[in-house]
Amino acid sequence: MPSTSSPGKPTPPSAPSEPYASVYRRSIEDPEGFWLEAAAAIDWTEPPTRALDDAAAPIYRWFPGARLNTSVNCLDRHVAAGQGERTAIIYDSAVLGTVEHISYADLTDRVSRFAGALVSLGVGRGDRVVIYLPMTPEAHVAMLACARIGAVHSVVFGGFAAPELAARIDDAKPAAIVTSSGGIEPNRRVEYLPAVAEAVALAQHRVGAVVAKHRDGFEHSLDSLDRMRADVGKDAGNAPEADTRWVDWDEAMAEAEPAAAVDVAATDPLYILYTSGTTGSPKGVVRDHGGHAVALAWTMANIYDVGPGQTMFTASDVGWVVGHSYIVYAPLLVGATTVLYEGKPVGTPDAGAFWRVAAQHGVRSLFTAPTALRAIRKVDPDGALARGHDLSELQTLFAAGERLDPETQGWIGDLLGVPVVDNWWQTETGWPIGANPVGLEALPIKTGSCTRPTPGYAVEILDGRGQPVESGVEGNICLRLPLPPGTLTTLWGNDQRFIDSYLSAFEGYYATGDSGLVDEEGYLFVMGRTDDVINVAGHRLSTGALEQALAAHPAVAECAVIGLADPLKGQRASGYVVLKSGVEVEGETALEELLAELRAIVRTSVGAVADFKQVAVVDALPKTRSGKILRKTMRQMADGEEYVVPSTIEDRSVLDALVPTLRTGP
């Protein structure tokens, strides 16, 4: 069916489109030559002689026979080139009010010593290490130390409950866990040690060692651990003395001998990252060393336009894929400076936090989630807090993680006066599927679109039968195989599950699970998950299009639309909106007028076919910690179905507060 979206008009182009077009064409027609050329940006101990190994298709491998060390590419080679004093990490803790600059030489020393500590605990090449840390430099150190010795890290978002951590321990079977006293939120401290102790007791797999970094101000420490371990072990039914060594980070570092870098195959696994919100056995995305390094280095130059000595601020968390790629690995691969921000977009101390960080540290590229931008807009709709900072160094704002609605995109673009690039990707892909390649060529921007498919990704829109659709027609967004380097190579320990989950719906394609369209100019519009498409009296409607219409109302800060069961029409659309800070709706009459305006704007934008009648004003929307709105959970609750609250939920009380509205209807 034709899209119900309203693609925005393009801004004037900054240059002819031939460079992007020719590069994209070459990446699809000659991936072998294209990626071997890109591989020149990486230092290899055994350079690749060919790019793609398709012997086990549909499971592919990149750069077979090549060898390298990712840690050396992120650290040692820059020091050897005389750049040891360049800043690698700016650790800006808004919750502590501190800033620390860590040079490449200092970071290399820390990483090599912690790698030595891991080796002394029996960790070696191919062993797994679970990392459960807050946004502190120890996260970088632990991840790069694993890469240095060929161990496979699996970062679990700090604050996950013990049963979720235990499930990942049993799947990854780590030799060690690296953790900390806890994480700091604006109004509370999250204790990590009790969760780790409980998870170790709950897991069937026995963990050899736990290394814990002490932080002041927390109730629990290694000194108080014995009684705590006994209590949780008794509750879990396991012996508390489960042969797990508990080691203090600082003591281990003081005693460790620096570890030399281990040569690994390009096809060896670098890390496992479990997708959020899984049920049953966790789904561990596997990333390799060689393809990962090549792809990320390419994106820094060609998408994010950040190079040696320049600063990138990715406002995410190391526990998510954006943090893995663009807080830790990609900036360091190219010798840039990465900002490690421990804070929130609002509340640490206010909605000007991002602008303060960008100005103070001379940020060239800022990468955040649309949810964060909407949170800032809700509190500071006029952008007054941005105007007090010198943002002249900022060249581009990137957004990913949740659909960037045109209203938010226009608002932040006008406020900052820089291009706002919506880039779309997934945990599984590790880097953008669609983006404006501003480092290669700044293409015209269309609001509501992530611009064009990124070189390397053969994007096609297919109908339910697997047939390509015409331009402007919405369908299933699929990626023709093989996927480019840096994407998932398989699921940990389960090739068949990888095939069944991603490669079986459409033969010869990776199914993204998202719906969208490509317009007549080749621009990609991602409208939402395929299960977010609702069917109203036989008309398939994208919830993304309905949300786009609601977000256009000047009073709306953010919104969500879900499809509820309807005995007559199959489904009906139901909307929930959060108002901007300062918007007052006093009395029933004023509220009804606002709701009528919201219904009218959807009718005008989408059409009467949407039959949009239900809409409510709510205080907040339930989200995961990475900013994704829990639409599926909301729909299940509203329809009276059984549901499981995802372990990744940011604030359970928001969902609880919605129950009366969801179950009675707006």
Tokens of 152: 């496979």
Per-residue pLDDT, averaged over 366-375, amounts to: 91
The pLDDT value recorded for residue 295 is 98
Name the band, by pLDDT with cuts 50, 70 and 90, for residue 229: low
Residue 177 — φ and ψ, nearest 5°?
A: -125, 140
Q: What is the pLDDT of residues 190-228, one digit of tens each?
A: 999 999 999 999 999 999 999 999 999 999 999 887 666
Name the band, by pLDDT with cuts 50, 70 and 90, for residue 574: very high
Side chain identity at residue 90, one-letter code: I
User: Are 543 and 534 spatial neighbours (Cβ–Cβ below 8 Å)?
Assistant: yes
Most confident by average pLDDT, 230-244, 330-344, 651-665: 330-344
Is the pLDDT reported for residue 398 higher than 70? yes
The pLDDT value recorded for residue 511 is 95
- Which of the two residues, 122 and 283, has the higher pLDDT score? 122
Average pLDDT, the chain: 90
Is the pLDDT reported for residue 438 higher than 90? yes
- Which of the two residues, 638 and 568, has the higher pLDDT score? 638
Name the band, by pLDDT with cuts 50, 70 and 90, for residue 522: very high
Is the pLDDT reported for residue 11 higher than 90? no
Residue 407 — φ and ψ, nearest 5°?
A: -65, -45
Distance CA 517, CA 524 (A): 6
Q: What is the pLDDT of residues 255-284, one digit of tens each?
A: 999 999 999 999 999 999 998 543 456 789
Per-residue pLDDT, averaged over 71-89, amounts to: 98
Stated pTM of the model:
0.84
Per-residue pLDDT, averaged over 111-130, amounts to: 98
Q: What is the pLDDT of residues 138-167, one digit of tens each?
A: 999 999 999 999 999 999 988 677 888 998
Is the pLDDT reported for residue 179 higher than 60? yes
The pLDDT value recorded for residue 531 is 61
Q: What is the pLDDT of residues 273-328, one digit of tens each?
A: 998 543 456 789 999 999 999 999 999 999 999 999 999 999 999 998 999 999 99
The pLDDT value recorded for residue 309 is 97
Q: What is the pLDDT of residues 583-610, one digit of tens each?
A: 988 889 999 999 999 999 988 777 666 7
Percentage of the chain with pLDDT > 70?
Answer: 91
The pLDDT value recorded for residue 665 is 58
- Which of the two residues, 506 and 231, has the higher pLDDT score? 506
**Long-range CB pairs of 20-24, under 8 A, 24+ apart, other chains included:** 20/437, 20/440, 20/441, 20/443, 20/452, 20/455, 23/302, 23/437, 23/440, 23/455, 24/452, 24/453, 24/454, 24/455
Segment (H or E) for 197: helix 193-202
Name the band, by pLDDT with cuts 50, 70 and 90, for residue 240: very low
Q: Which residues contact 226 (CB under 8 A, 6 or more apart)?
A: none
Tell which residue, 83, 145, 155, has the closest CA to residue 120.
Answer: 145
Side chain identity at residue 108, one-letter code: T
Distance CA 32, CA 50 (A): 7
Q: What is the pLDDT of residues 611-664, one digit of tens each?
A: 788 999 999 999 887 677 888 888 888 888 888 787 778 888 999 899 899 876
- Which of the two residues, 431 and 539, has the higher pLDDT score? 431
Q: Taking every pair of C-alpha atoms in the chain, what is the biggest distance, in angstroms?
A: 73
Is the pLDDT reported for residue 566 higher than 60? yes
